[in-house]
Structure 1
Amino acid sequence: MADTTGNTEETRTAGTPAPVPRARWRHIGPGIVVAATGVGAGDLVATLVAGSNFGYTLLWAAVVGCLVKISLAEAAGRWHLSTGRTLFDGWASLGRWTTYFFAVYAVVWGFVYGAAAMSSSALPLQALFPGVTDLKWWAVGCGLVGLVFVWFNKYAVFEKVMTVLVGVMFLVTVYLAVRVAPNLADAFAGLLPVLPDEKDSVLNTLGLIGGVGGTITLAAYGYWVNAKGWTDTGWMKVMRLDNRVAYATTGVFVVAMLFVGAELLHSAHVAVASGDKGLIQLGDILAAEYGTATAKFFLIGFFATSFTSLIGVWHGVSLMFADFVARSRGTGTGTASGEQVASGARERSWPFRAYLLWLTFPPIVLLFQGQPFRLVILYGVLGAAFLPFLALTLMWLLNSSRTPRQWRNGPLSNTALAVAGLLFLVLCGKQIWDQPWSEFF
């Protein structure tokens, strides 16, 4: 992303090491990880459904969604690099309420998300290998593979595997977009900000903008930046290039799926279900239209999309939880740099591995017994509340004396974070309003 601090040159904080060489493509890494983790099956379905319902009309909204998330990830990365402190340490400086929010969020969200991620990864496997075993056992297998992979591998290996899976996702989505022969004139027209002439079009459009490319993984970006070895302001230009790559990649994924929805479904008046099962339906439609080989190729991409989200959350949110526990117990320095990050100590810590276990084994119970109604409601509310929490706290931190003056927000970054915070507050309010609270009590 461009320099949103409003400065005309990169100024290093006192005492930091000499700047690294200028940003090059070979440095890219955390951005690929955040793009892969942030784009799950749900994001692809959302843009697919938008394309099937409105054609190319909301293409602009998908692009705006990527720009909004760029500002959030850049702010998180800038906090880590400019202060030498972790994001949770910044949150803790704002008051105990941030600790309480994150503690409840980590427990409830992680419990329900674990089951959702495992099920999402299992669906394409069951479709690729019908009759081998039940969906629940595919889901258990995905969760256990993710656990073992993240438990025994450090960030460098994790990043390489994520890069390969992103390559698969990229090939599949671009192939499908080309295969359906998009109408480029209509696509360019879809870049004009126009709302569909339908009821609730504003809220649907805001939902598409807010749903593109990640929730808590945006906060995890700063931790992945540190795990890569970027720990001071000398890496700021590299981080910004990396962040741009992340959301350019995300943009390719969601725009490609909107093309598929617009050409394959909208023109034929075919509807697919919301949620992961909509992608299974798309696989059946592709098989009927283009043959079994294309459908299987798509299912491989579907699995790559879902499994990268699984292992990305298993790794990134566990890093955050490890920092949370260290800060809460007073056993960690709250710094983003230094020996702990360089040695990968967080990835070997007991809180990191304890949260890995929490994401894997308790959710298996949900796979076999169904998700408790009240827990699902809390999960939805907490998930909706996280992005406004992230946007507004980053705006607070990066405009205060906690951040060195030269790295504080400029007008562009403040505008972007304010728009993001307002957008996510509206979506959070809608999510809370839509919950069946009368059945909760």
Structure 2
Amino acid sequence: MTSIPSVEGKAATPSQSRLSRVVKLLGPGIIAVLSWLGAGDLITSSVAGANYGYAMMWVLAVSLLLRYLIVNIIARFQLCNNQGMTILQGYAQLHPVFAWFMLGYALIMGHLMNAYMIKGAGESLAMLLRIDYPLLCSMAVVLAVWMLVGRNIYSMIEGVMKALLAIMTLAFLALAVMSGPDVVGIVKGTIGFSIPADEGVHGAMLVAVSVIGAVAGSVANFVHPYVMRQKGWVGPQHKRVQRNDLLFAVFVGIVINLAIWIVGAEILRPNGIEVNTLADLGKALEMFFGPIGWYVFFIGVFATLFASISGKTTAFPMLITDALQHVQPKRRERYGKEFHKDPAHRWFMLFILVTPLVWSIPGMPDFVTLTIGVSALNIIGLPVISLGLLIMSNQKSLLSKEYRNNLFENVALAFATGLALWVAFQLGVDLFS
């Protein structure tokens, strides 16, 4: 983050000094929340609100709590283990199967997550340009990302995208407040712990699983420790600032997800609008803000998706390359700790970015269905991730007592493992029946 140059001859006031320190410290959390806030959160929260009101609000609350706990434990392990291990090294030292699992899981989910984001970005761009060629627009997005990622101009483009994302977020927040949310309904839904009867195209269990997968089980949660290392947070001395930074990021995520859910429950549901396409969700802003609301929505969605595609195309290959080098240790000896020096890293980038275009071909599942389906698939990895984390974050040989899990964290990880297995079983029963 660039700093603001001081005016020559004028000393900074104490308040300015404190503000500048805060701005410099906030970083990985902001990047994390931008990485998390993709089409998964946007679609799953709006579909849940539009189809089921606040009945499944507890799913979002549990998912956000689990996200904070899982990411915080991941970050604490990487900062505080006495061997200087990365989080992936922590998993790999438990058993080689964890490295193999993470290699395959990150490769598949990186492909699938970019699939619905590239498809959505193409559809958004086609809508904005008023042309009926979403596949061509998706190809243009892929080409633009490949040309921009890693280059000096990308930081400027990313800044513009974040600003557009902020405008759309503010529009949703304003609309959520203007709609007069049912606070009693939100509280009842948060403590209700019930799955309502199916409504609309997407069943209640599938929507619930997709919310949990998109939030708590997302492999994108592993992006945070890589960003921490780039920030220079590499030891126990950074534990406090990391936790506060993550709390801020999760708070922002709560506000945004809640606003989107409220819009679905208070605007779309009463008007009988189901979220089957991006245009359906855009109707909410158009109804209240007119044509400008339509443009704010689609420009914001395009910015969100473009930034997410760029972030995942940058971060996922690092995770995949790291896993590959644990499976094949000689690669790390040959290429060192700089992932981009490994030739496989570039091929992983191409795979993550180019192969998802196949899902944009006409006749493939629509954007909303693809988003919900892929988000639900995230649940497959949650038991392995939470169980492995439960074991290694209690290892006395790697962590001193003050950095090991407390009772609540152990219970939460055990609960996450059980919850993931239960919802996966219930989803399987629903699908086969």
Give the TM-score normalised by structure 1: 0.79
The alpha-carbon deviation at position 206 of structure 1 amounts to 5.6
Give the TM-score normalised by structure 2: 0.80
Where in structure 2 are the equivalents of 1:146-157 lying within 5 Å?
Answer: 146-152=145-151
CA distance in structure 2 between the aligned counterparts of 1:391 and 1:136, rounded to whole angstroms:
37
Aligned twin of 1:42: 40
CA distance in structure 2 between the aligned counterparts of 1:72 and 1:169, rounded to whole angstroms:
28
Shift in alpha-carbon separation, 1:112–1:202, aligned structure 2, 3 A: closer
CA distance in structure 2 between the aligned counterparts of 1:250 and 1:142, rounded to whole angstroms:
26
Q: Is the 8 A contact 2:213 2:377 kept in 1?
A: no
CA distance in structure 2 between the aligned counterparts of 1:244 and 1:85, rounded to whole angstroms:
24
Shift in alpha-carbon separation, 1:315–1:433, aligned structure 2, 3 A: farther
CA distance in structure 1 between the aligned counterparts of 2:161 and 2:290, rounded to whole angstroms:
29
The alpha-carbon deviation at position 234 of structure 1 amounts to 0.6
The alpha-carbon deviation at position 264 of structure 1 amounts to 0.7
CA distance in structure 1 between the aligned counterparts of 2:112 and 2:280, rounded to whole angstroms:
24
Shift in alpha-carbon separation, 1:412–1:154, aligned structure 2, 3 A: farther
Partner residue of 2:391 out of 387, 393, 396: 396
Partner residue of 2:76 out of 71, 75, 78: 78
The alpha-carbon deviation at position 261 of structure 1 amounts to 1.0
CA distance in structure 2 between the aligned counterparts of 1:39 and 1:85, rounded to whole angstroms:
28
Count residues in correspondence: 398
Q: Is the 8 A contact 2:50 2:269 kept in 1?
A: yes
Aligned twin of 2:411: 415
Aligned-partner SS, 2:228: helix
Shift in alpha-carbon separation, 1:134–1:208, aligned structure 2, 3 A: same
The alpha-carbon deviation at position 332 of structure 1 amounts to 6.9
Listed one character per residue, the Cα deviations across residues 320-370 of structure 1 (whole Å, up to 9, x for unaligned) are 122123333325779xxxxx77xxx33454333221111122333453476
Shift in alpha-carbon separation, 1:285–1:367, aligned structure 2, 3 A: same
Where in structure 2 are the equivalents of 1:27-176 lying within 5 Å?
Answer: 27-83=25-81, 84-131=84-131, 134-152=133-151, 164=163, 166-176=165-175
CA distance in structure 2 between the aligned counterparts of 1:318 and 1:386, rounded to whole angstroms:
18
Which deviates more from structure 2 when the two are superposed, residues 302-311 or residues 224-233? 302-311
Q: Is the 8 A contact 2:53 2:265 kept in 1?
A: yes
The alpha-carbon deviation at position 136 of structure 1 amounts to 0.7
CA distance in structure 2 between the aligned counterparts of 1:90 and 1:157, rounded to whole angstroms:
35
Where in structure 2 are the equivalents of 1:14-29 lying within 5 Å?
Answer: 24=22, 26-29=24-27
Aligned twin of 1:358: 351
Q: Is the 8 A contact 2:28 2:224 kept in 1?
A: yes
The one-letter amino acid paired with 2:279 is I
CA distance in structure 2 between the aligned counterparts of 1:346 and 1:182, rounded to whole angstroms:
47
CA distance in structure 2 between the aligned counterparts of 1:201 and 1:112, rounded to whole angstroms:
22
Q: Is the 8 A contact 2:117 2:309 kept in 1?
A: yes
1:221 aligns with 2:224: yes
Shift in alpha-carbon separation, 1:282–1:107, aligned structure 2, 3 A: closer
Shift in alpha-carbon separation, 1:204–1:106, aligned structure 2, 3 A: closer
RMSD: 3.3
Q: Is the 8 A contact 2:274 2:280 kept in 1?
A: no
Aligned-partner SS, 1:403: coil
Listed one character per residue, the Cα deviations across residues 200-231 of structure 1 (whole Å, up to 9, x for unaligned) are 86775465344336611112211111111111
Aligned twin of 1:15: none
Shift in alpha-carbon separation, 1:162–1:284, aligned structure 2, 3 A: closer
CA distance in structure 1 between the aligned counterparts of 2:89 and 2:194, rounded to whole angstroms:
41
Q: Is the 8 A contact 2:212 2:376 kept in 1?
A: no
Shift in alpha-carbon separation, 1:357–1:93, aligned structure 2, 3 A: same
CA distance in structure 2 between the aligned counterparts of 1:315 and 1:388, rounded to whole angstroms:
26
Q: Which runs of 5+ in 1 are unaligned?
A: 1-22, 335-339
Q: Which runs of 5+ in 2 are unaligned?
A: 1-20
CA distance in structure 2 between the aligned counterparts of 1:333 and 1:158, rounded to whole angstroms:
33
Shift in alpha-carbon separation, 1:163–1:367, aligned structure 2, 3 A: closer
Aligned-partner SS, 1:211: helix
Where in structure 2 are the equivalents of 1:172-211 lying within 5 Å?
Answer: 172-195=171-194, 197-198=196-197, 205=208, 207-211=210-214
Shift in alpha-carbon separation, 1:94–1:382, aligned structure 2, 3 A: farther
Q: Is the 8 A contact 1:36 1:162 kept in 2?
A: no
Q: Is the 8 A contact 2:119 2:359 kept in 1?
A: no
Q: Is the 8 A contact 1:388 1:425 kept in 2?
A: yes
Listed one character per residue, the Cα deviations across residues 58-83 of structure 1 (whole Å, up to 9, x for unaligned) are 33432222111001111111121112
Shift in alpha-carbon separation, 1:431–1:196, aligned structure 2, 3 A: closer
Aligned twin of 1:282: 281
Q: Is the 8 A contact 1:156 1:228 kept in 2?
A: no
CA distance in structure 2 between the aligned counterparts of 1:86 and 1:427, rounded to whole angstroms:
30
Partner residue of 2:242 out of 239, 242, 247: 239
Where in structure 2 are the equivalents of 1:227-376 lying within 5 Å?
Answer: 227-273=230-276, 277=277, 279-288=278-287, 290-331=289-330, 345-347=338-340, 349-368=342-361
Aligned twin of 2:17: none
Shift in alpha-carbon separation, 1:106–1:300, aligned structure 2, 3 A: same
CA distance in structure 1 between the aligned counterparts of 2:118 and 2:57, rounded to whole angstroms:
30
The alpha-carbon deviation at position 260 of structure 1 amounts to 0.5
1:386 aligns with 2:384: no
Aligned-partner SS, 2:191: coil
Listed one character per residue, the Cα deviations across residues 122-152 of structure 1 (whole Å, up to 9, x for unaligned) are 2222222212x61011111222222233333
